[in-house]
């Protein structure tokens, strides 16, 4: 059976599990709506606009779980006084190549890009810049932030910790989030290399899609509350957990656990945010732990100036060579070609920019409820 992934538009859903039968909405309609909502909760023009771009970039790149689908979640956190729409974002510690930022409970969608700007400014002078962030909230897709470095001929990094849903290897407790790592690396004529991955076997967004469709998950994604393998996508409601990348010990789940732990420590222990099971949950109906070990959630972003290592042109030409060599490698039978990280998302972005963004009917309902809450109309 041919498995022609990604390159052909009609097969792209194998990667994204995108819901192509759903109605699509023009990007500008969703942008205007998101902007209006962020304004309604009190964001400045600039912050409403920035938060909207970060959210929309997820929808455009096909990471539906991190886009407009989350808008009402941010609003509920604001209603619960857990998001400050007018934060006083401050640098609380710094060195020539580092800083710690306190996000003052602001939207991660706003705090993280500001941290990344500071990392880039530090890298301009010191070669690299690394910023740990505390007292923040969910920052959207990691790839938005890492990619900010690209236009400066820098390599961008972004990580964040997140609501505890993941059990370390040999454990039945949920101690880590899906703690993503993103790295964006510029090329010359080729598009950039953009890795953006949860440190779990499957991102929570993929599980949510299976939950909506009531379909079984593959073995190795989730475990029951007793630590046994499960294919029930609703297992997390019964105390189950996501499994770190690797699926089980024999296949290296201790490595996924180690990467998730690294993200947690860099994002939160280094910045003074909450870590591990103390991370405040994204959903407003769950209370944050009563005994916090830090402030809010934490991020870790970085920028490395390419020409702090070798001339940028030379580096980028070698990146072109790297990308071409890997893309043209002999593919396994049934596959078109070997993927370069960031390629499926880039194809999806171009397609959705033109054809609009498909939204799940439940997301549309959610957005309509948001519109009513703030007494304005949205035609979806």
Q: Between residue 221 and residue 260, which ones bind a copy of itself under the rule CB under 8 A?
A: 221, 226-227, 245-247, 250-252, 254-256, 258-259
How far is the C-alpha of 110 from the C-alpha of 47, rounded, in Å? 6
* Token pair for 376: 């304005």
What residues have CB less than 8 Å from 220, skipping those under 6 apart?
A: 201, 229, 243, 247, 248, 251
Host H or E run for residue 99: strand 98-102
In whole angstroms, what is the distance from residue 256 CA to residue 250 CA?
Answer: 12
Q: Which of 147, 275, 281, 345 binds a copy of itself (CB under 8 A)?
A: 275
Q: How far is the CB of 5 from a copy of itself (least distance, A)?
A: 7
**Binding of a copy of itself by 220 (CB under 8 A):** yes
Contact at 8 Å (CB) between 115 and 131? Answer: yes
Q: How far is the CB of 119 from a copy of itself (least distance, A)?
A: 11
**367, 33 contact by CB (below 8 A):** yes
Residue from 271, 357, 371, 378 that binds a copy of itself (CB under 8 A)?
271
Q: Give, as ranges, the residues between 158 and 177 that touch a copy of itself (CB under 8 A).
A: 168-173, 175
Q: Which helix (H) or strand (E) holds 263?
A: helix 253-264
Ranges within 299-328 binding a copy of itself (CB under 8 A): 304-306, 308-310, 315, 318-319, 321-322, 325-326
128-136/98-102 β-pairing: parallel
Shortest CB 9 distance to a copy of itself, Å: 18
Rule CB under 8 A: choose which of 261, 347, 348, 357 binds a copy of itself.
261
Site for a copy of itself in 88-147 (CB under 8 A): 93-98, 100, 125-128, 130, 132
Nearest distance in Å: CB 306, a copy of itself: 7
Are 240 and 230 within 8 A, CB to CB?
A: yes
Which residue in 341, 345, 358, 370 binds a copy of itself (CB under 8 A)? 341
């Amino acid at each position: 059976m041919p498995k022609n992934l990604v390159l052909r538009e009609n097969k792209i859903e194998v990667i994204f599990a995108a819901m192509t039968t759903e109605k699509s909405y023009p990007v500008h309609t969703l942008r205007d709506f998101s902007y209006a909502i962020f304004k309604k909760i009190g964001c400045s023009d600039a912050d409403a606009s920035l938060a909207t771009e970060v959210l929309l970039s997820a929808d455009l790149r096909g990471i539906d779980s991190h886009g407009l689908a989350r808008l009402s979640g941010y609003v509920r956190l604001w209603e619960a006084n857990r998001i400050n729409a007018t934060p006083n974002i401050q640098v609380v510690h710094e060195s020539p190549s580092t800083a710690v930022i306190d996000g003052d409970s602001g939207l991660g969608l706003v705090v993280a890009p500001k941290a990344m700007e500071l990392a880039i400014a530090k890298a301009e002078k010191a070669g690299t810049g690394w910023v740990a962030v505390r007292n923040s909230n969910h920052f959207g897709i990691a790839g938005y932030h890492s990619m900010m470095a690209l236009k400066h001929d820098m390599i961008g990094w972004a990580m964040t910790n997140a609501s505890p849903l993941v059990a370390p290897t040999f454990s039945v407790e949920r101690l880590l989030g899906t703690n993503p790592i993103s790295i964006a690396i510029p090329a010359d004529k080729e598009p950039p290399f953009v890795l953006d991955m949860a440190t779990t076997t499957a991102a929570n967004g993929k599980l949510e899609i299976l939950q909506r469709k009531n379909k079984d998950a593959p073995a190795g994604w989730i475990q029951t509350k007793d630590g046994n393998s499960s294919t029930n996508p609703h297992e997390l409601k019964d105390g189950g957990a996501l499994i770190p990348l690797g699926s089980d010990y024999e296949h290296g789940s201790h490595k996924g656990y180690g990467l998730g732990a690294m993200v947690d420590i860099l994002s939160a222990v280094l910045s003074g945010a909450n870590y591990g099971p103390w991370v405040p949950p994204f959903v407003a109906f769950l209370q944050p732990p009563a005994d916090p070990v830090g402030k809010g959630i934490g991020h870790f972003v970085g920028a490395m100036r390419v020409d702090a290592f070798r001339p940028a042109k030379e580096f980028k030409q070698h990146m072109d060579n790297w990308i071409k060599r890997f893309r043209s490698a002999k593919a396994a039978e049934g596959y078109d070609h070997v993927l370069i990280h960031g390629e499926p998302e880039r194809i999806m972005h171009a397609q959705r920019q033109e054809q609009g963004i498909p939204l799940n009917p439940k997301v549309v309902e959610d957005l309509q409820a948001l519109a009513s809450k703030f007494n304005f109309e949205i035609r979806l």
